[in-house]
Structure 1
Amino acid sequence: MKIGILKETQKGEKRVSMSPNIAKQLIAKGFEIIVEEEAGTNSSYKNIDYVDVGVNVEKRGVVFKEAHILLKINPFDEEDLKLVDKGQVLISQLYHKSNPSLIQAIASKGATAFSLDAMPRISRAQDMDVLSSQNNLAGYKAVIRGAYEMTKIFPLMMTAAGTITPSKVLIYGVGVAGLQAIATAKRLGAVVEATDIRSETKEQAQSLGAKFISVDNEGEESEGGYAKEASEDYAKRQKEAVNKSLFQADLVITTANIPGRKAPVLITEEQVLQMKNGAVIIDLAAAQGGNCEVSKLDETILLNGVKVIGSTIAPESVSTNASELFAKNIYNFILHLTEDTNFKWDLEEEITDETLIVKDGDIRKK
């Protein structure tokens, strides 16, 4: 079976779906791999790095023509689909719930498609979960970006000229990104607080040294390991509980996303106007509409002395690590789906069932 690695074309994307190291491991399992030329350049992987491990480097058209499996990180676009043939297997993040026209276009090609963002949150799937691996890096990098944008340092520092008090960091959402943000901010010496609709995250936040801002969440349970959209009543109570910390924070990081839906607004424009001068908000949910009402993806908004930065962080600035982790997720996923380099098509198995969106032109999930 031949796996084709495509160069990412989405603006700002620097990752590649397969690193040379992981490609070598797949080749050892019996797969043949071809990669589009210069696909790994922005992740510091040269064409020769792939050639050295047995990967064939080809032009884009050749990859589409020869590969049985086509790999990308971002959704296949209109130009990609012009080159897709019947029977090919597409693997990427498709965001099928919010992108029905793409799914219909794939189906019309008679192709098969797996959506990596549909991976179930179960223990068996942890090593295939691209959202977790990428969010881990995003949480780390959000703190580093925040430190760069702030006009203060994080740690307590005692000097002959006086004592510098530690910065205050507030984190919305204690998932993978939020936990890594807590750990990173604490290592840098900040005072960290966190809040989440899922009460089960309290112990995790506290174990990393953060103070957890609790809000009674009866009836607000999570869905499949993900936070679900909060009720209007909960959102109001959370705002009241968090406001004091928000208005005193030097850095705020928001990480709340709901699969297939617009990100919930956790910080309104009115709240931003009450934050202290010089505060920074890093909104990691900007690609899904943003947790802050005023944020815009890939833009820095200055409002009443507060910087609001809408970003996804990981693909922008840590592409080497992000690509390696993504590739390892892909490696585990492909081995799960296949036996002796052939697809098993076990549609009763949960991971296969949840991620297989289109099968030979038939739409299975909407």
Structure 2
Amino acid sequence: MKIAVVAETRSGERRVALVPGLVERLTGAGLDVAVEPGAGVSSGFADDEYRAAGAVVTPEALAGAGVVLSVQPFDARRVAELAPHAITVSFLPTGQELDHVRAVRDAGHTAFAMELVPRISRAQAMDALSSQAFVAGYRAALVAAERLPRFLPLSMTASGTIRPATVLVLGAGVAGLQAIATMRRLGAVVRAYDVRSAAAEEVRSLGAEFVHVELPALDGAGGYAREMTEERSRLQRELLAPHVADADVLITTAAVPGRPAPLLVTGPMVAAMRPGSVVVDLAAESGGNVEGAKPGEEVIVGDVLVWGGRDVPSQLPAQASQLYSANVVNLLSLLMRSDGELSPDFDDEIIAACCVAHAGEVRHAPTRALLGEELS
């Protein structure tokens, strides 16, 4: 079977779905790998590296391919170029990609969405949301450090002592924990808050202080937080306001796939921060944790700089691609039959969970609801 790796075409997307170092895992399993020219260039991987790894680099990569790999869903118009009953693997935010879903469904192809891989132990090696959040959390810390007009660590000199900067991280999932760890390495005093009960121990294990507020935890399924009521959200903002005002850097990471990001910080809360403070909102693309944050832009609120994240893992494309590729290859390994062919086994909970469409049917219930189809 032929595996095709397509070049990403969306603005700002610099990742690639398969790095040269993982080509051999596929060819060693008896699969052919074809890569579109230049697919890895933005990530730092030249065409010659793919050739040396055993892949064929050709503009006709899609022709006859049984499986197509990408980071973002490719243009719905290209679905017509796919071989019959092809399998696509990519991130696929179905709420924003209904045309793509319809095209795949109507053509009888199978589409897997990497963000739908369930958060269970057996699926950790395929969890692309976590791997990319890991990259985004690191990048968030670097963005804040670059833009903060002061030292992060404690500095004791003959001319006097410079106190360390104070960092507040809201959301202690994978991205938040990586931001905490990076800021701690840079010498800042770090505090963090999360609505999940397990987060306190994880935050303290990194040497940061957990911020306690007098509100019950909101633990949800799959390691995510439960959606909160507007009243709970208002109370939480009131209790967090003094901690936000005391921070030199605020990093927010709270996001749940398929839902708008919760509003954690209002404009007046940002304006109450010290002049020169920096806010990094990693959830800006999904509505934002911080009022006024705009994805891909820097705005000034009062005397505070607010940086809105947009496709943040792509800002560190080599490592982000390396991690994403491993997630994809591990999923392909799960799809592989003993005879070397790739075929979904829907009795497997991982495959069933992350399949959006198969054999002319939309299998993902929330997407079927968006399309107005009757749920079985």
TM-score by length of 1: 0.96
Matched, 1:193 2:191: yes
Structure 1 residues without counterparts, runs of 5 or longer? none
Q: Which residue of 2 aligns with 1:301?
A: 299
* Alignment-derived partner of residue 239 in structure 2: 241
Match of 1:357 in 2: 356
User: Deviations 1:299-329 (Å, cap 9, x if unpaired)?
Assistant: 0001211111111464332111111111111
- Secondary structure, aligned partner of 2:251: strand
Taking the aligned partners of 1:38 and 1:97, their CA distance within structure 2 comes to: 29
- In the alignment, the residues of structure 2 paired with residue 337 and residue 72 of structure 1 have an alpha-carbon distance, to the nearest angstrom, of 17
122, 125, 130: which one aligns with 1:132: 130
**Separation in 1, partners of 2:192, 2:142:** 17
Q: 1:182 to 1:286 in 2, by over 3 A?
A: same
Report the number of matched residues.
Answer: 364
Partner AA of 2:271 in structure 1? L
Alpha-carbon shift at residue 273 of structure 1 (Å):
1.8
> What does residue range 267-278 of structure 1 map to in structure 2 within 5 Å?
267-278=265-276
1:51 paired to 2:48? no
Q: Say if 1:284 and 1:310, in contact at 8 Å, map to a contact too.
A: yes
Contact preservation (8 Å) 1:4, 1:71: yes
In angstroms, what is the RMSD of aligned CA positions?
A: 1.5
The match for 1:144 is: 142
* Per-residue deviation, residues 236-258 of structure 1 (Å, max 9, x unmatched): 22212211110111111111111
Contact 1:197/1:230, CA 8 A, preserved across alignment: no
Is the contact made by 1:220 and 1:231 (CA closer than 8 Å) also made in structure 2? no
The normalised TM-score by structure 2 is 0.93
Matches within 5 A, 1:209-358: 209-218=207-216, 220-312=218-310, 314-339=312-337, 340-358=339-357
Q: Show structure 2 runs of 5+ residues with no match.
A: 368-376
Distance in 1, matches of 2:100 and 2:37, equals 26
Deviation per CA, 1:33-55: give whole Å up to 9, x if none: 00000000011100000000110
User: Which residue does the alignment assign to 2:20?
Assistant: 20
Q: 1: CA distance between counterparts of 2:125 and 2:310?
A: 21
Aligned identity (percent) is 38
Cα distance in 2 for residues equivalent to 1:86 and 1:108: 11
User: 2:112 is paired with a residue of what secondary structure?
Assistant: strand
**Map of 2:371 onto structure 1:** none
Q: Following the alignment from structure 1 to structure 2, what is the Cα–Cα distance between the partners of residues 188 and 219? A: 30
Q: Give the conservation status (yes or no) of the 8 Å contact 2:64–2:83.
A: no
Q: CA deviation at 1:149?
A: 0.6
- Equivalence for 1:174: 172
3-state SS of 1:214 partner: coil
Aligned with 1:68 (options 60, 66, 69) = 66
Measure, in 2, the Cα distance between the counterparts of 1:216 and 1:10.
Answer: 44
Deviation at 1:344? 4.2
Distance 2:203 2:341 in 1: 43
Distance 2:237 2:282 in 1: 19
- Equivalent position amino acid for 1:18 in 2: L
| Shift in Å, 1:345 | 2.5
